[in-house]
């Protein structure tokens, strides 16, 4: 469940802030954009949260990926992380592997990013205790718009699954709205604030037990660039519903260390590096 502000996105936001008001395009020496740019990245987080919910039972996780960007604006990549049994299924492989691709451009000073992403959990197709489909694999299309420090992104669920919440029913059309503000506040120090909303479409925004599932999630954080290592600190808090609490509950022994409050407010630190 790849976080929207990835390593490269944070770095780009910081670079944009550094360049703003410091030097004009006319002052900068022209540089040739390479035909293909390959950027691997690796990181460690004290807890892996996605849309406000812990994906690794409130434990640390190693993550990493590789992005390939073409000068025409097209890009593709992959990203992986360790996850818990609750995320991938009690019989899953405790891994998330995302594949994504899209196109970035600029229209009237507004950045445009359109693409698709598939969130894959190896072993989840037989991840339930009875070896049935855990319905974790999820596919989304997205559209992102950015202007200055602000980025707004909408994600649309293409398939029936929505991260093991459907019980085999159809949650296609579920939407996620993401507004992020990011600004450099001191040399190499970037502050960011995020607000997101999950608009769940199954059973009129309810999950399988009939309780309302749609909810809002928020986080605020700082990222410091220390010689190419991005050191992050972020606080997450949510406006969860009864359905969200029912869904994000891993108290059963089948789900690793049995955390029941995967939606609880939490503080996360991270170290990320791109090459």
pLDDT per residue, tens digit, the chain (275 aa), is 565 444 444 444 443 333 333 334 445 555 788 999 999 999 999 999 999 999 999 999 999 999 999 999 999 999 999 999 999 999 999 999 999 999 999 999 999 999 999 999 999 999 999 999 999 999 999 999 999 999 999 999 999 999 999 988 899 999 999 999 999 999 999 999 999 999 999 865 676 577 788 999 999 999 999 999 999 999 999 999 888 998 998 888 777 666 778 999 999 999 999 99
Tell me, what's the pLDDT at 139? 98
CA-nearest of 36, 43, 57 to 3 is: 43
Give every CB contact of residue 171 below 8 A, 6+ residues apart in sequence. 157, 160, 161, 162, 165, 200, 201, 202
Tell me, what's the pLDDT at 1? 57
First to last CA, the chain: 22
Q: What are phi and psi of 242, to 5 degrees?
A: -60, -35
Tell me, what's the pLDDT at 32? 81
Q: State both tokens at 127.
A: 């991840």
Tell me, what's the pLDDT at 207? 67
Q: Is 13 left (phi over 0), alpha (psi -120 to 50) or beta?
A: alpha
Tell me, what's the pLDDT at 8? 45
Tell me, what's the pLDDT at 13? 40
Task: Look at the pTM and tell me if it is higher than 0.85.
Answer: yes
Tell me, what's the pLDDT at 3? 54
Tell me, what's the pLDDT at 242? 87
Question: What's the CATH fold of domain 7-274?
Answer: Porin (2.40.160)
How far, in Å, CA of 174 to CA of 167, rounded?
15
Contact (CB, 8 A) for 245 and 52:
no
Contact (CB, 8 A) for 248 and 53:
yes
Tell me, what's the pLDDT at 228? 95
Whether the CA torsion 139, 261, 242, 214 is positive or negative: it is negative
How far, in Å, CA of 42 to CA of 62, rounded?
8
Tell me, what's the pLDDT at 206? 72
């Amino acid at each position: 469940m790849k976080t929207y502000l990835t390593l490269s996105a944070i770095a780009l936001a910081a670079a944009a802030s550094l360049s703003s008001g410091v030097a004009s395009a006319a002052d900068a020496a022209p540089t040739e954009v390479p035909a293909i740019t390959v950027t691997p990245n690796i990181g460690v987080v004290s807890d892996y949260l996605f849309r406000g919910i812990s994906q690794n039972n409130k434990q640390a996780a190693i993550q990493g990926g590789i992005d390939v960007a073409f000068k025409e604006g097209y890009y593709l990549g992959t990203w992986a992380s360790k996850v818990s049994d609750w995320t991938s299924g009690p019989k899953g492989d405790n891994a998330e592997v995302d594949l994504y691709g899209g196109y970035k451009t600029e229209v009237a000073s507004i950045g445009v990013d359109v693409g698709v992403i598939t969130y894959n959990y190896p072993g989840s197709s037989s991840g339930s205790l009875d070896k049935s489909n855990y319905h974790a694999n999820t596919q989304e299309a997205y559209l992102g718009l950015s202007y200055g420090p602000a980025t707004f992104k909408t994600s649309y669920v293409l398939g029936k699954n929505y991260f093991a919440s459907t019980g085999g029913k159809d949650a296609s059309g579920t939407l996620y709205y993401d507004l992020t503000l990011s600004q450099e506040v001191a040399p190499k120090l970037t502050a960011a604030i995020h607000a997101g909303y999950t608009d769940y479409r199954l059973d009129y925004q309810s999950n399988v037990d009939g309780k309302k599932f749609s909810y809002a999630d928020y986080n605020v954080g700082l990222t410091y660039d220390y010689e190419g290592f991005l050191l992050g600190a972020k606080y997450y808090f949510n406006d969860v519903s009864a359905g969200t609490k029912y869904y994000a509950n891993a108290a059963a022994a089948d789900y690793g260390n049995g955390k029941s409050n995967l939606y609880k407010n939490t503080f996360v630190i991270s170290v990320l590096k791109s090459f």
